[in-house]
């Protein structure tokens, strides 16, 4: 029988049960074996897809090695983001300071790669040893004539979510530094990272509606687009956990309004298009959106039928990074006849969990910042057939004979948009219907 | 042809590192102790990144705890987190052993882990279920994952091995090898009919069958009793000649403070240490077998005579397909040394030998053991993948032999990559790749030959069906 730590009990609830208000937004409990990463990770994953920027990690080598080419974020042009640069600090640097090594590294790398900007991530020990990263960045910025932005992300200073915020602040430093003419209906896409080319699917939809995407932050991202981002009329924010802070800052300073969307599943995807049309108060856009949705759904619904027939009644467990994505997944699963029995996230907030309480069926287990001990017990107890999660959840599922769908940032199949929904159904079908399970059941 | 030199990195920065940080190596070793849960004393991300990186290779559950430093622990010390973390791990996992690795953060702020362990034991002295503690100092600014690995091996032996009356028993420190290789070595020990301790043994814990229920601590790992018994062995065999010497690089203190576990047993318990390169290829395996024979007094079993014979036969059958080919070999120093020893036997020139390790003895090891022709080889110590890529564009190797991370170079050059070692992130079966002894070499040899044959066939205008 697995053990749920006393301190963690408030972070677990059951829909329809006594706990109404799930505890969340806390630092992970020491020794709980949280599935979360750290502040640095949060900043790194958000900024990573900016393809024409130099990303250099100032610290010992591990953090750079583990984040080399880590996301399946595609670029339609430069691929500088896929290289892993580090100052690779050693003991002598720790003792005598690493600032000079950082300066030399920036100097040689900017000369070699001619990036449009540089992000300098400092990891755990940089603050502790007192390197003046800010002044090195300022000096290099002046010498090289490109923005050199410090991203102070020591792993211990909060959680992954704090890293998102730090990344938003780094991006915000770029916003407003370039003015280019932008068309009438122009939006920024915030919080899509172009995993497996998902952004390109969305661009196609918006293009069909007659909407111009000004900057995509950060999927297939470009420094100059970000610098000009304040000239868009609207920020459309997905994965709100990571990007809402940027949207709020842009609202405050540049008066760019924002709305929250999700691109997973039919309902949410369609709402994302309708809401944008609604914002511009244009019948023309709305008609285009309706037409697009009608066509796409007309294609998609019949295509989903065989999957739904096969999967109806099956039970799914969801444990992902952001709660907003989890919510979309519940709806997407319903579309193919599946019921969610466990749902959790690393970084959900009160509102997210409230929404989940309202959305999910009774007895669904809701969990914040979970771990292998709990997750393995929950999927067993609820007799889940499928687990949706990331790399760290996959072996938990497979080891005890559950199907698994990868919704993590390394995946190679797009799951956003209408085509993404079909891919999702196919993947869930493939894992649930595989004959291999007969050997473990 | 250029003369052999140690290629000094021309960049100050690291560009696509060919190394990982020390706590990863230590965590791996802790996975090779029965009933052990690894804990990393530092930020949450260290444990999570390492878990993710290892899961992508081993495809196994990888529960590694973190003491989850906060700003407060960084300023005032991590002892509260340390205690809380151990308490919580014990409540959830009831481990028999706690394997604790430090990080750059905890080392920089001066955490004294042995003292923290002693304090914890002291406070809980009435507790009869108290786990054993093993610890490794693994600041990631010192050396690579290999230094962390060997530091943890040493740490476990230091804290667990007990001196006793000598018996017919062999210690085998097999180094960072695949679970399949470990299984092969265990089988061989059995075939020799000798009592042994192989450490670390993650052959099961990182390559388990399916379960009905989730096992919080996977089966497998070297039993504690066997690690204790290492102090009674008649001899130690230690694979790898570089071991943890890379941790000395960049150190400003304790320049002499580096012994391997085998050396430590020899110094403290007078157990003769037989240090040798990893047995890849015939000659290196012969050396290992001869040592086994002399330690056990048993002749090499018939099975291995046959395996050796078949390997020689295979070498001959395929020698023309590989002779004169140029390879780029990269990875951990001890792995590339072993691979070079093997490649020398089959007539492949390791035109580029690269490692992220910086022991400073890679070149000396290769030359003093006559594993390479210095005239035909470029040795890159402390190399990163971008430097290797630049060198490869110049030297144009016919084949790459190394881990998955060099794939982009192979792709750019349009030549095959034979995946060995760790990590293999872009294929399945990484843990099942064999490299060692006659049988492992056989598999590796066939893979190299077939990769070259496939390349030739695919680039041929004729779709031939015979070679």
Asked whether residue B263 falls in the same domain as residue B356, the answer is: no
Q: Are residues B269 and B360 in the same domain?
A: no
A400 CB-near residues (< 8 Å, 6+ apart): A376, A379, A380, B210, B211, B212, B213, B214
Whether residue B240 is found in the same domain as residue B331: no
Q: What pLDDT sits at residue A241?
A: 78
| CATH number of the domain residue B68 falls in | 3.40.50.1980
pLDDT bracket for residue B299 (50, 70, 90): very high
Could you read off the pLDDT of A413-431 as tens digits, one per residue?
899 999 999 999 999 999 9
B2 against A305, higher pLDDT: A305
Residue recorded with tokens 């100097």 = A107
Continuous segment of H or E residues that includes residue A242: helix A240-254
3-state secondary structure of A342: strand
Find the closest chain B residue to A371 by CA distance: B63
Tell me, yes or no, if the pTM score tops 0.80.
yes
User: Could B212 and A439 be called an inter-chain contact, meaning their C-beta atoms sit closer than 8 Å?
Assistant: no
| B335 and B196 within one domain | no
Q: For residue B107, tell me if it sits in a domain.
A: yes
Q: Please judge whether B59 and A372 are an interchain contact, meaning their C-beta atoms are less than 8 angstroms apart.
A: no
Tell whether B46 is covered by a domain. Answer: yes
pLDDT of B212 reads: 87
pLDDT of residue B254: 58
Pairing between β-strand A386-389 and β-strand B36-41 as defined by DSSP bridges: unpaired
Q: Is B423 inside any structural domain? A: yes
Q: Under a CB-based contact definition with an 8 Å cutoff, are residues B57 and B27 in contact?
A: no
- Are B241 and B335 members of one domain? no
pLDDT value at residue A295 = 97
Rounded to an integer, what distance in angstroms lies between the CA atom of residue A411 and that of residue A398? Answer: 17
Domain membership of residue B96 (yes or no) is: yes
B14 closest CB neighbour out of A38, A61, A439: A61
Residues of A in contact with B89 (CB under 8 A): 31, 33
Give the pLDDT score at B58.
Answer: 97
Smallest Cα–Cα separation from B52: which of A65, A378, A61? A65
Level-2 CATH architecture, domain A6-23+312-410: 3-Layer(aba) Sandwich (3.40)
Say yes or no to pLDDT of B294 above 90.
yes
Assigned domain for B366 exists: yes
CA pair distance B412, A376, nearest whole angstrom: 42
pLDDT of residue B3: 46
> What pLDDT shows up at residue B55?
97
Note whether B264 and B353 are same-domain residues.
no
State whether B70 and A29 contact (CB < 8 Å): no
Residues B348 and B409 both lie in one domain: yes
Give the mean model confidence (pLDDT) for residues B288-308: 97
- The pLDDT score that the predictor gives to residue B1 is 41
Are B250 and A92 within 8 A, CB to CB? yes
β-pairing verdict for B65-66 and B399-402: unpaired
Between B463 and B266, name the one with better pLDDT: B266
Verify that B268 and B366 share a domain, yes or no: no
Contacting residues of B for A95, CB less than 8 Å apart: 252
CATH architecture of A39-169: 3-Layer(aba) Sandwich (3.40)
* Residue reference for tokens 């244009």: A282
At residue B5, the pLDDT reads: 55
- What is the structure's pLDDT at B7? 58
pLDDT < 50 positions in chain A: none
Instruction: Give yes or no: residues B132 and B263 share one domain.
Output: yes
Domain assignment present for residue B168? The answer is: yes
Q: Which 8-state DSSP code applies to residue B415?
A: -
Nearest to A366 by CA among A94, A66, A13: A13
Element (H, E) at A297: helix A283-311
Which chain A residue is nearest to residue B71, measuring alpha carbons? Answer: A157
pLDDT for the residue numbered B251: 64
- Confidence band for B463, pLDDT divided at 50, 70 and 90: confident
What tokens does B192 get?
């020799």
**Which residues does chain A have within 8 Å of residue B412's beta carbon, measured at their own beta carbons?**
none
Q: Chains A and B: how many Cβ contacts under 8 Å?
A: 254
A56 Cα to chain B: minimum distance (Å)? 9
Together in a domain, B347 and B231: no
Query: Are B270 and B358 members of one domain?
Result: no
Reported as a single tens digit per residue, the pLDDT across B74-115 is 989 999 999 999 999 999 999 999 999 999 999 999 999 999
Beta bridge partners of B133: B98
Q: Is B378 helix (H, G, I), strand (E, B) or coil?
A: strand
Question: B410 and B272 share a domain?
Answer: no
- Asked whether residue B6 is assigned to any structural domain, the reply reads no
Q: A186-293 is classed in which CATH architecture?
A: 3-Layer(aba) Sandwich (3.40)
When scoring B44, B66, B87 by the number of chain A Cβ atoms within 10 A, the one with the most, hence best to mutate, is B44
Question: How close, in Å, is residue A42 to chain B by CA atoms?
Answer: 10
The three-point CA angle B120-B125-B126 to 5° equals: 135
B210-239 pLDDT per residue, tens: 998 899 999 999 999 999 999 999 999 999
Q: What is the ipTM of this complex?
A: 0.96
Contacts of B137 by beta carbon, 8 Å cutoff, 6+ apart: B102, B107, B113, B151, B155
Q: Using the beta-carbon criterion (under 8 Å), do B71 and A157 form an inter-chain contact? A: yes
The pLDDT assigned to B253 comes to: 59
Number of structural domains, chain B?
2
The helix (run of H) or strand (run of E) holding residue B320 is helix B302-322
- Considering chain B, what is the average pLDDT of its residues? 94
What pLDDT score was predicted for residue A408?
82
The closest CB to that of A84, out of B16, B65, B68, belongs to: B16
Quickly state the pLDDT bin for B193 (edges 50, 70, 90): very high
- d(Cα A33, Cα B67) in Å, to the nearest integer? 9
Check whether B327 has a pLDDT greater than 50. yes
- Residue B250 has a pLDDT of 60
Which residue is closest to A82 within chain B, CA to CA? Answer: B16
Count of C-beta atoms within a 10 Å radius of residue A335: 19
Cross-chain residue pair B141–A94, CB shorter than 8 Å: yes
Q: What is the pLDDT of residues A58-109, one digit of tens each?
A: 999 999 999 999 888 999 999 999 999 999 999 999 999 999 999 999 999 9
Residues of B in contact with A99 (CB under 8 A): none
Confidence of residue B365 (pLDDT cuts 50, 70, 90): very high
User: How many other CB atoms are found less than 10 A from the CB of residue A398?
Assistant: 19
Check A396 against B42: CB less than 8 A apart: no
For CATH 3.40.50.1980, list the domain ranges present in chain A: 6-23+312-410, 39-169, 186-293
Residue B284 is assigned to a structural domain of this protein? no
pLDDT for res B159 = 95
Please tell me the predicted confidence (pLDDT) of residue B2. 45
CA–CA gap between residue B218 and residue B62 (Å, rounded): 9
Per-residue pLDDT of B249-262, as tens digits, reads 666 655 556 799 99
Both tokens of residue B448? Answer: 């190299």
Nearest by Cα to B12 from A88, A212, A1: A88
Residues of the domain holding B180: 22-246+258-278
């Amino acid at each position: 029988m697995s053990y749920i730590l006393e301190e963690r009990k408030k972070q677990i609830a059951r829909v329809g049960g006594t706990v109404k208000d799930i505890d969340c937004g806390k630092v992970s409990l020491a020794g709980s074996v949280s599935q979360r990463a750290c502040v640095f990770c949060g900043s790194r994953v958000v900024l990573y897809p900016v393809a024409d920027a130099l990303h250099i990690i100032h610290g010992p080598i591990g953090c750079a090695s583990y984040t080399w080419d880590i996301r399946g974020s595609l670029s339609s042009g430069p691929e500088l983001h896929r290289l892993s640069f580090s100052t690779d600090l050693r003991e002598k640097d720790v003792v005598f300071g690493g600032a000079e090594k950082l300066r030399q590294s920036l100097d040689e790398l900017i000369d070699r790669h001619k990036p449009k900007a540089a992000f300098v991530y400092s990891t755990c020990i940089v603050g502790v040893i007192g390197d003046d990263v800010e002044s090195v960045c300022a000096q290099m910025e002046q010498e090289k004539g490109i923005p050199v932005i410090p991203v102070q992300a020591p792993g211990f200073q909060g959680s992954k979510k704090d890293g998102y915020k730090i990344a938003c602040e780094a991006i915000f430093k770029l916003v407003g530094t370039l003015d280019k003419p932008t068309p009438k209906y122009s939006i920024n896409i915030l919080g899509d990272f172009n995993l497996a080319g998902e952004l390109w699917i969305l661009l196609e939809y918006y293009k069909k509606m007659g909407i111009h995407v000004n900057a995509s932050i950060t999927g297939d991202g470009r420094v100059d687009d970000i610098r000009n981002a304040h000239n868009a009329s609207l920020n459309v924010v997905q994965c709100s956990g990571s990007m809402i802070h940027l949207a709020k800052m842009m609202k405050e300073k540049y008066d760019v309004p924002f709305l929250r969307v999700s691109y997973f599943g039919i309902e949410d995807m369609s709402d994302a298009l309708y809401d944008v049309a609604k914002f511009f108060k244009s019948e023309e856009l709305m008609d285009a959106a309706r037409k697009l949705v009608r066509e796409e759904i007309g294609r998609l619904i019949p295509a989903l039928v065989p999957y739904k027939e096969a999967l109806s009644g099956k039970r799914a467990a969801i444990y992902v990074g952001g709660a907003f994505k989890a919510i979309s997944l519940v709806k997407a699963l319903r579309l193919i006849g599946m019921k969610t029995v466990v749902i959790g996230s690393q970084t959900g907030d009160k509102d997210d969990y409230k929404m989940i309480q309202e959305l999910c069926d009774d007895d669904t287990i809701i969990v914040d910042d979970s771990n292998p001990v709990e997750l393995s017990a929950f999927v067993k107890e609820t007799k889940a057939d499928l687990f949706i999660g990331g790399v760290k959840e996959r072996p938990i599922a497979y080891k005890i004979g559950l199907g698994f769908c990868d919704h993590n940032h390394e995946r190679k199949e797009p799951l956003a948009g209408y085509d993404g929904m079909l891919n999702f159904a196919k993947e869930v079908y493939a894992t649930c219907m595989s004959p291999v399970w007969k050997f473990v059941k | 042809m250029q003369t052999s030199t140690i290629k000094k990195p021309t960049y100050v920065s690291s560009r696509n590192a060919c190394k990982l940080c020390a706590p990863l190596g230590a965590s791996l070793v802790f996975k090779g102790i029965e009933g052990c849960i690894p804990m990393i004393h530092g930020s949450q991300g260290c444990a999570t990144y390492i878990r993710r990186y290892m899961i992508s290779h081993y495809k196994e559950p990888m529960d590694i705890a973190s003491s989850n430093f906060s700003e407060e622990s960084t300023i005032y010390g991590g002892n509260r987190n340390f205690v809380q973390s151990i308490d919580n791990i014990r409540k959830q996992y009831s481990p028999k052993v706690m394997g604790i690795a430090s990080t750059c953060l905890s080392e920089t702020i001066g955490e004294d882990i042995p003292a923290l362990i002693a304090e914890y034991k002291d406070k809980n002295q009435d507790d009869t279920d108290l786990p054993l503690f093993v610890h490794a100092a693994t600041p990631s600014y010192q050396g690579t994952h290999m230094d962390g690995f060997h530091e943890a091996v040493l740490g476990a032996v230091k804290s667990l091995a007990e001196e006793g009356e000598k018996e017919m028993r062999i210690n085998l420190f097999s180094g960072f090898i695949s679970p399949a290789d470990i299984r092969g070595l265990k089988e061989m020990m059995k075939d020799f009919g000798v009592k042994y301790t192989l450490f670390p043994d993650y052959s099961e814990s990182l390559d388990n069958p399916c379960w009905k229920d989730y096992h919080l601590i996977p089966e497998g790992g070297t039993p504690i009793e066997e690690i204790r018994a290492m102090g009674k062995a008649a001899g130690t065999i230690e694979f790898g000649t570089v071991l943890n010497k890379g941790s000395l690089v960049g150190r400003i203190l304790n320049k002499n403070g580096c012994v391997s576990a085998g050396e430590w047993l020899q110094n403290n318990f007078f157990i003769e240490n037989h240090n040798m390169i990893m047995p890849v290829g015939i000659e290196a395996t012969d050396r290992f077998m001869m040592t086994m024979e002399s330690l056990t007094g048993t002749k090499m079993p018939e099975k291995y005579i046959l395996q050796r014979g078949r390997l020689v036969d295979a070498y001959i059958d395929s020698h023309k397909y590989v002779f004169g080919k140029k390879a780029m070999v990269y990875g951990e120093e001890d792995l590339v040394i072993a691979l070079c020893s093997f490649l020398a036997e089959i007539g492949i020139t390791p035109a580029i030998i690269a490692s992220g390790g910086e022991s400073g003895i890679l070149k000396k090891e290769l030359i003093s053991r006559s594993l390479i022709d210095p005239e035909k080889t470029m040795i890159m110590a402390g190399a990163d993948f971008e430097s290797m890529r630049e060198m490869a564009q110049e030297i144009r190797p016919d084949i790459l032999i190394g881990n998955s991370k060099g794939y982009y170079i192979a792709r750019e050059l349009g030549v095959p990559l034979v995946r060995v070692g760790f990590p293999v992130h872009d294929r399945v079966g990484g843990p099942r790749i064999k490299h060692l002894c006659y049988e492992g070499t056989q598999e590796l040899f066939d893979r190299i030959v077939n990769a070259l044959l496939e390349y030739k066939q695919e680039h041929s205008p004729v779709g031939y069906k015979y070679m």
